Structure 1
Amino acid sequence: MKKSLICALVIYCFSSVAAYAAENPSVKALLSEMSKASQQLNYQLSYIVINRNTIEPLRYSHAVENNVQLAHLVYLSGPMREIIRRGGEVSYIDSSSEPFTIRANYMVAPTIPLLNSNINELSKYYDFVLLGKAREAGATCQVLRVVSKDGMRYSYVLWVDEKTKLPLRADLVDRDGDILEQFRTISLAVGDGVSKALGELQNVQLPQVLSLPQGNLTHTYWKVSWVPNGFKPEELNRYKLSGTNQMVESQLYSDGLFDFSVYVSDRNDQSLKSQLVRQGRRSLQIYVSGKNEVAVIGDIPPETALRIARSVKFSPVAAKKVADSNAVNNSPETDVAPESSSQ
C-alpha cells in the first residue's frame, strides 16, 4: 500500500513538472522564437512610445518577399516622417530635409526592442527571467525580464504574444525599477494582407544609396580602458566641429541592445565643467581631464557613463604628434598617432 502511494506521488510530481515546463518554456527559447517570428512573419504593429513628457504614435509593418525583408515605419503625428527598409538598404524620408538611403540591415528608429536581436549573443551579458502571464493589446502574453548580469546598464520587461511570438510591449527600466520608456502595442495584424501592401515598396523610387566616408583611424592619443562586458568598439572618427576649428574624435560602442559614444577634444575656454545631463534613457556625462574634455553620450545609466569617462587614458606624446600633423596637413582625418584605441 505504501509503495503504491509513493509511486502515485512520484508520478504526480513528474507529471506536474512536465505540465509546468510545457506551459513555461525556457525564456531563452521564447526570445529566440520572438526574434525568428519578427524576421519571418508578415505583420503590422501599431503602437505608442511613452516617455515622461511625450507620447509618439507609430506604425511598423514587416514582410518577406522573395527572401528579402521589407519594413516600413511611419510616424503617425506631426510632420511626415517614414523609414523604408528593402533588404540591406534603409531610406529615411522627412518632410523637413532631403531624403537619403544608406546600406544597413536595421533602422535607427524607435522600433519595439529586441525585434531583430541576436539572443545567443545577448545571453552572454543578460539574464532572462520569466515573470508570468498577462494581457496586452487583447492578447495573452508571456512576461519576462531582460536584465544585465553586471548591473551596469538598463533592463527591459517584455510582453511576448503567446500565439504569434511577437513583442507587444516593452518597458525600459532603470536600476531603481523606475520606468524610463514604454512601447505599447494598440493593434496587431498578421497575414498576407500586410505582405501585399509592403510588396508595393519594391517598385517605389527611393533615393540612391549614399557613399558614406568610412572611419580611417586605427590609432589615436586616447583609449577607453573600461566598458561594461559585451560593448564592442566600432569606427573611430576624427572631424572638426561645424563652425569652429575644434578637432573632435569619437567612437561608438554597442552590445547589440544599447549603445553609447565617447567624444574627446581639447579643453578650451568654452569647455564645460564636469557635469551630467540625463533625459529619459539618454545620459550625457561631461568629464574634464587635464587639457582634455571627454563626453559620453548614450542609453546607459549615469553612473556607468561617468565610470567610462573617467577610464579614458591619454598619451601626451601621441597627442603632440596628432596636433603637429593637423597643423601641417590641416586635415580633419589625419591618422598619425601610435597608440592603439582597441580595448
Structure 2
Amino acid sequence: MKQIWLSVCLLTGSLLHSNIASAQPASGAILQQMSSASRSLNYELAYISISKQGIDSLRYRHAVFDKQPLGQLLHMDGPRREVLQRGGGISYFEPGLEPFTLSGDHIVDAMPAIVFADFDYLAKYYDFISVGRTRISDRSCDVFRIVARDGSRYSYVVWMDTETKLPLRVDLLDRDGETLEQYRVISVLVGDQVKNLMKGLLEANLPPLLTLPAAENVKLAWNTGWLPEGVNEVARNRRKLPNVAEPVESRLFSDGLFSFSVNVSPSGNNVGQQFYRQGRRTIQTEIRNGNEITVVGELPPSTAKRIADSISFKVSAQ
C-alpha cells in the first residue's frame, strides 16, 4: 500500500454530577463562547496531551495587542520545539529543520480542533449535549458532549471553564466510547501578566512566509458517491510522489472539525482491501478496476470504508 501522509486514559463521566440534559441550542451558544475566549483573552495554559503514542507536556500562551493575536506553543520535554504566531503568520521552529512561516489565524497544533470550531455551522450536523458540572485544575467547569447526528464520526467531550470559557479538558472518543486522545490542562493563568510575557514577540525576527504553489483547477475522472453530512470538498490536486511512476489524484474534505483525503492512482498490484488505524487516523485502501483507492484521515474505519466503496469512475467516451 502506498504511504500517503495527510496531516487515552480516563473514562468520561466518572467525575460528573448527575445533571444530564438533552441536546440544547443554548449549548451551542455557550460553546461558541469557548471559541471566542480562546481567540480574545490573554492567557497561559500548561497541559498534557495523551494519545496512543504517549504523553506530551506543552505550554500555550496567547495575547492580543491592538487586535493582533500573538501565540506561543512550546513543547516542554525533549529538544526545544516551538510554534509562534504573530498576526496571520504561524512560524515553526523544529530541531534539524530550517524555520519557516505559514499563513493561519491560529496555531493548529496547540489545542484540539473543537476549540476553534464554528459551532453555528456544526449545529446543523452535530448535537451539543450539556452533561453537567465538575472541577478541573481546581476550577469549576461546564461539560458538553459533541456528537455527529449521523453517527459517522468520532465525538468529543469538552470541559469548559465556567468563568473564563477556556477549554480545560477535551476527550476525543471513538464510537465505542474509547478515549483516543485527551487534552488536559494542569494550570491556568489569565490576565495582563501573560500579555507582558508575550510583548517581546512584537519585535521578534521571524522566518519569511513560505510561498505555496497556486491551486490548480484540476479535473478528476472520479467522484465520491457518499460523504458524511456536512462534509465539503476543500481542495483537490494531482501530484507526483517520490519513487511512484504515476501521479496521485487527491480530494481533501472537511466538516470544519474532522478532515480526510481520498486518493486515487493506478494500481501496480492486485493486493486486495487493507486498512490501518492509529489513534484518530485511519488508512483504508482497496483496489478496483486497476485503481488504488485510499482514504486517509480522521474517520472511524467503517466510515472510511463506506467512502472508499462509494467512489465511482467516469466512463471515457469511445
Contact 2:71–2:107 (Cα < 8 Å) also in 1 = no
Structure 2, unaligned stretches of length 5 or more? 1-20
Letter matched to residue 295 of structure 2: V
Distance 2:80 2:151 in 1: 39
Distance 1:25 1:151 in 2: 19
Distance 2:103 2:271 in 1: 36
Q: Residues 177-188 of structure 1: matches in 2 within 5 Å?
A: 177-188=177-188
1:290 aligns with 2:271: no
Structure 1, unaligned stretches of length 5 or more? 1-20, 321-343
CA deviations 1:145-176 (Å, max 9, x no partner) are: 00011100000001011111111000101111
Give 1:242 deviation, angstroms: 1.1
1:189 aligns with 2:182: no
- Structure 1 residue ranges, 4+ long, deviating more than 3 angstroms after superposition: none
Task: Report the 3-state secondary structure (helix = DSSP H, G, I; strand = E; otherwise coil) of the residue aligned with 2:129.
Answer: strand
Give 1:245 deviation, angstroms: 2.1
Distance 1:34 1:208 in 2: 31
Task: Determine the structure 2 residue equivalent to 1:32.
Answer: 32
Q: Give the RMSD, CA atoms, in angstroms.
A: 2.0
Distance 1:128 1:240 in 2: 42
Task: Report the 3-state secondary structure (helix = DSSP H, G, I; strand = E; otherwise coil) of the residue aligned with 1:74.
Answer: strand
Task: Report the 3-state secondary structure (helix = DSSP H, G, I; strand = E; otherwise coil) of the residue aligned with 1:297.
Answer: strand
CA deviations 1:68-103 (Å, max 9, x no partner) are: 111111111122211111121111110121111111
Distance 2:173 2:249 in 1: 31
The change in CA–CA distance for 1:25 and 1:229 in structure 2 (over 3 A counts) is closer
Task: Determine the structure 2 residue equivalent to 1:104.
Answer: 104
Distance 1:107 1:245 in 2: 35
Q: More helix per residue: 1 or 2?
A: 1
Number of aligned residues:
297
Give 1:316 deviation, angstroms: 4.2
CA deviations 1:94-123 (Å, max 9, x no partner) are: 012111111122333151342222110111
Distance 1:85 1:313 in 2: 42
Task: Determine the structure 1 residue equivalent to 2:7.
Answer: none
Output the TM-score relative to the length of structure 1. 0.82
Q: Residues 270-289 of structure 1: matches in 2 within 5 Å?
A: 272-289=271-288
Bigger radius of gyration among the two: 1
Give 1:25 deviation, angstroms: 9.8
Distance 1:219 1:126 in 2: 32
Task: Report the 3-state secondary structure (helix = DSSP H, G, I; strand = E; otherwise coil) of the residue aligned with 1:39.
Answer: helix
Give 1:53 deviation, angstroms: 3.8
Contact 2:25–2:128 (Cα < 8 Å) also in 1 = no
Task: Determine the structure 1 residue equivalent to 2:81.
Answer: 81
Task: Report the 3-state secondary structure (helix = DSSP H, G, I; strand = E; otherwise coil) of the residue aligned with 1:305.
Answer: helix
Output the TM-score relative to the length of structure 2. 0.89
